[in-house]
Amino acid sequence: MIIATNWKAYVESKEKAKKLFALAKRLASHSTHEFIISPPMPFLGFLADKNHSKVSFMAQDISSTVGGAKTGEITSAVAREAGATYALIGHSERRAIGEDNTLITQKLQHALAQGLKPILCIGERERDVDGEYLAFLREEIASVYATLSQKERLQIIIAYEPIWAIGKTSTESITVTDLTEMILYIRKVLSDFLSGRGASCTPVLYGGSVDTDNARALAEGSGIDGFLIGRAGVELDSFSELVRAL
């Protein structure tokens, strides 16, 4: 499985960043899971510089621009140069501050152009009885995939993160049954854009209040390929317990 942690701005000291990285390396060395961590970019730079482990690095976001007179932007080229191999794109916290599908598509294209593997976040804000959230999710996928070649589409990892399930407790998170249905639905939408086994081979992660209590059941029952983990991935105890639970 892929175990990707989203450090967000939870980690603000070098010391803590080093400890979390050391833990990820230790866990990865005893595991068949693939570990991806996403320190804030300055920390990513110095940790990745000395990285000879199986742990990979992910930029939490990248710019929608390329280099030049763009004060404050972290371009895909910079993220790549700093040591990232993955880029998280379209996280709900970025969408909440105005990023739309057009901007997200631009970011994705820049990531791909620099050889970064994009992890595209999708997820409905809430569920309605008429099932309109399904059309919303389809649009989040379609608006991006429609602009890309088959080769580019095959590079994308999807992170399904229903916004209503983020930042809650494991009991308020998604059920195995609902997640199983959603993974089937997402793969069905993907099959409209990917030929052959493309849709079934696209890794689909789940994120939203995953912790020690629900990780195993979600991993075993739903057809996901891994997790995108927020809070439980930024404390040493909760992260090692969660990985142990898997």
Give the binding site for ligand PEP (CB under 6 A).
Answer: 6, 161, 166-167, 207-210, 228-232
Secondary structure E strands in 150-225:
157-160, 204-206
Q: Considering beta carbons, is residue 167 or 196 the nearer one to ligand PEP?
A: 167
**160 DSSP 8-state letter:** E
> Is position 52 annotated as part of the catalytic site?
no
3-state DSSP call for residue 237?
helix
3-state DSSP call for residue 239?
helix
Shortest distance, position 159 Cβ to ligand PEP, whole Å: 8
Considering the candidates 91, 99, 110, 124, report the single residue annotated as catalytic. 91
Distance, in Å, from the CA atom of 140 to the CA atom of 245, rounded to the nearest integer, reads 32
> Is position 161 annotated as part of the catalytic site?
yes
Q: Considering beta carbons, is residue 199 or 232 the nearer one to ligand PEP?
A: 232
Distance, in Å, from the CA atom of 97 to the CA atom of 220, rounded to the nearest integer, reads 34
Shortest distance, position 8 Cβ to ligand PEP, whole Å: 7
Q: Is the separation of the CB atoms in 18 and 48 below 8 Å? A: no
Shortest distance, position 50 Cβ to ligand PEP, whole Å: 27
Shortest distance, position 69 Cβ to ligand PEP, whole Å: 32
Q: Considering beta carbons, is residue 92 or 202 the nearer one to ligand PEP?
A: 92
* Number of alpha carbons in the 13 Å side-chain half-sphere of residue 7: 27
Q: Which is nearest to 206 in space by CA: 187, 223, 189?
A: 223
CA angle centred on 229, ends 227 and 232, rounded to 5°:
130
Q: Tell me the residue nearest to ligand PEP as measured from the CB.
A: 230
Considering the candidates 99, 124, 140, 161, report the single residue annotated as catalytic. 161
Q: Which residues are catalytic?
A: 91, 161
